[in-house]
Amino acid sequence: MRADHASFACGAALGFLGDLATGDPRRGHPVAAFGRAALAAERRLWRDHRGYGALHTVLCAGGAAAGAALLTRAGRAVAGRHRADIALTAAATWAVLGGTTLGREARAVGGALAAGDVEAARERLPHLCGRDPQALDAQAIARAVVESVAENTSDAVVGALVWGAVAGVPGLVAFRAVNTLDAMVGHKSPRYRRFGWAAARLDDVAGWPGARLTAVLATVAGPDPRGARRAWRRDGRRHPSPNAGPVEASFAGALGVRLGGTLAYAGRVEHRPVMGDGRAVRTADIDRAVRLSRRVGALALLTSVTARLVVGRVLSDRGGVPGGPGERRGKR
């Protein structure tokens, strides 16, 4: 048991370093392949009905998790448990994490804004979020980027590591599958209001622990821990998303800026509560948000690996506690 947890720690660290070094490939990314499969399933299953949407979610997310579990079992049969677990965990961690690409895209938009090329910034913004870029000026684009960095730090880094610590390779894959489905069908457009309901609700549940850990780590790692804690407690619940709220509020407080407000998304205008009581977002805050995101990601890796190792030690030592199985075996 203890070796299994050490294998996860080693594999997760290797996968994290792989993402740090290379980011996402331009072609052939496993998440893109999953997206194509989910889209093909949607073409066959789509109905304006929650039940069909739930079936689509179960087939896609459940199929991804089951496939990861079968691959893990097959790898152990071929290469041995320890080697297979390290290799598959490293590969899965690299595939599901998106922290490096997130920072790269955010800085590309920030660079265009710094150069005064708002049109180029608008062209790059869809790589980060689904807002209507033509409705945004330079300051609104900068705010959108900072909010996207905050939210995706939880979705593309911390949440995956949390579920990897809980359930290994199937946990890593299942979380990213659920998060991808939510991005594809979980928004409140007329087509997906019912069909995407199950994916959106499952993503809320799966993202809950990662979002809270992200808020904690942003508070710890940010330049203003007190401000982050205050904004999180005061403003986190006001956001329409139960998971984006704590994350964006903690980032706003940590960076000393205001997030939220009016935005155009998916053909509609939303007026979201303002989070944080600092100044308006500036272009330079994009780079500050990316640096905070990287610190949070590194701390999330350390936290997840440590938790997995501690749990493994506790479980393996249970045989030695008074009245435990080990003591009873020793008396026979």
Residue-by-residue DSSP string for 256-298: TB-EEEEEEETTEEEEEEEE-SSBPP-THHHHHHHHHHHHHHH
- Mapped onto helix, strand or coil, the DSSP state of residue 131 is strand
Handedness of CA 78, 81, 86, 90 (dihedral sign): positive
* pLDDT at residue 328 in the model: 38
Report the candidate in 291, 256, 258, 245 with the shortest Cα–Cα distance to residue 110: 291
Contact by Cβ (8 Å): 199, 183:
no
Report the candidate in 106, 180, 159 with the shortest Cα–Cα distance to residue 297: 159
Spans of the chain below 50 pLDDT: 1, 320-332
CA distance 77 to 80: 6
* pLDDT at residue 331 in the model: 36
The answer to whether residue 330 is domain-embedded is: no
* Identity of the residue numbered 106: A
| pLDDT above 70: percentage of residues in the chain | 93
* pLDDT at residue 249 in the model: 98
The answer to whether residue 286 is domain-embedded is: yes
CA distance 314 to 332: 24
* pLDDT at residue 3 in the model: 64
- Structure tokens, 29: 């990314």
The answer to whether residue 321 is domain-embedded is: no
CA distance 197 to 192: 7
Contact by Cβ (8 Å): 10, 305:
no
The answer to whether residue 332 is domain-embedded is: no
Report the candidate in 143, 210, 227 with the shortest Cα–Cα distance to residue 176: 210
Kindly list the distances between the CA atom of residue 148 and the CA atoms of 105, 142, 215, 318, in Å, as whole numbers in the listed order. 11, 10, 14, 43
CA distance 225 to 221: 7
Full domain range(s) for residue 101: 2-316
The answer to whether residue 327 is domain-embedded is: no
The continuous run of DSSP H or E covering 171 comes out as helix 159-185
* pLDDT at residue 2 in the model: 57
The rounded mean pLDDT for the chain is: 92
Locus of tokens 């203003």: 224
User: C-alpha 160: how far from its chain's center?
Assistant: 6
Contact by Cβ (8 Å): 242, 209:
no
How many structural domains comprise the chain? 1
The answer to whether residue 323 is domain-embedded is: no
* pLDDT at residue 189 in the model: 87
- Structure tokens, 306: 């440590």
CA distance 253 to 235: 10
Instruction: Kindly give, in sequence order, each residue whose CB lies less than 8 Å from that of residue 306, ignoring residues fewer than 6 positions away.
Output: none
Contact by Cβ (8 Å): 91, 69:
no
Maximal CA-CA distance, the chain: 79
* pLDDT at residue 261 in the model: 86
Q: What is the pTM of this model?
A: 0.91
